Structure 1
């Protein structure tokens, strides 16, 4: 089966040369364009999620043999969560090669966090089926290398850390207020303000879930607090 120049370039960025390129094509096929002759990537997504999870669990287990389950779990969650997968997908230009239906494409599907995360998991499964676990593990560890090094800081839940700081300083929990919303319903953009009892506040905005924007606001306020201590 011939592979397009676009997909060859993507395979190069990914770091895997497919012996069965039809697996890659399926991994990049969203349900909005799937047909009886062109199945979507949902089954591959299911498998890829497990391959990614096993690889990250093994990597964390080996990297810190003294860590408890309570220490490993938040690190693991930080590495496999949708936001992380979507970030990796953006770094390798996965959105540019996704096969989408017209309506999904017009609604900004190539930039949607959940769609990118799901497609990346499907691509991981395609590598696993094409060349086995070691090949999939190698690609994953290549693209997650920096995140594994920085996992302790990345696994900090900014909202939890900010709440603990506020309580330790005699304040009530931080308050999160949606101060603006724009964009269409299928791709809303939120502006969230977080405030402390002492009047300090920070604002974050962007496209995504309200929770992710709240996390960004909490991190912004933590950075401001740390810069004044």
Structure 2
């Protein structure tokens, strides 16, 4: 059974036992915090407005950024601030976190509302990335700063082994264009949509290759949304090519 079939099977049977996920993360997680970290707002809304994982996501985002920043600063004394910032952006991007989540089969453990289940929420990059951050937040509250930092470093270790990633993160649109050309996929096109009031507008970009929607990304501007989508598309193409 391929990964897509596995995810459909998981959706039909309900989420997997979160205790299995805790074992794979190798950190002692409070069961209630673990369940909270896996609870998407769509599930919370359909179950009487119970708590969901966005506060934990907020906490985990801060811990993730600090852990990666300190690691890069201490590991690369030869690199300047600009280079370190670009590398950090690559490692904490939604595309990178979604890649980590797929490696953990995290989608199988999510508590999603019916609407998200029906629209492929278990493999939606934004949901997966946010859940990774929520898990980091849960690790901090359950086991403390050092254990949460150690978890972050374990999670990003496979990403550090891919030197091409940093080039793609610095200029994702050009990197995607070059990779697509090498693979004979043609030039990427971008479809843009926006939502929200003018003062809080969010942009959603979808990368299209050969008439096929390949990946998507969000941002506070069209440029940022396109860059996020391009990096996600580059990551997916790189995986399929390698």
Question: What TM-score do you get using the length of structure 2 for normalisation?
Answer: 0.68
Unaligned runs of 5+ in 1: 165-173, 180-187, 194-202, 221-229
1-structure distance, mates of 2:207, 2:81: 35
**Mapping of 1:17-56 within 5 angstroms?**
17-18=28-29, 20-34=30-44, 35=47, 38-56=50-68
1:118-137 deviation line (CA, Å, top 9, x unaligned): 11100100000001111111
**Within 5 Å, which residues of 2 pair with 1:150-229?**
150=162, 152-156=163-167, 157-160=171-174, 176-177=188-189, 190-192=207-209, 206-209=214-217, 211=226, 214=230, 216=233
- SS of equivalent to 2:208: strand
Tell me the residue number matched to 1:9.
20
Q: 1:129 aligns with which of 141, 158, 161?
A: 141
The alpha-carbon distance between structure 1 residues 6 and 175, as it changes in their structure 2 partners (threshold 3 A), is: closer
Indicate the structure (1 or 2) with the bigger Cα radius of gyration.
1
The number of residue pairs the alignment matches comes to 190
SS at match of 2:43: coil
Structure 2 residue aligned with 1:115: 127
Give the helix-richer structure, 1 or 2: 2
8 A contact 2:39–2:110 mirrored in 1: yes
CA contact (8 A) 2:38 2:110 kept: yes
TM-score by length of 1: 0.71
CA distance in 2, matches of 1:162, 1:43: 33
Separation in 2 of the partners of 1:129 and 1:81?
23
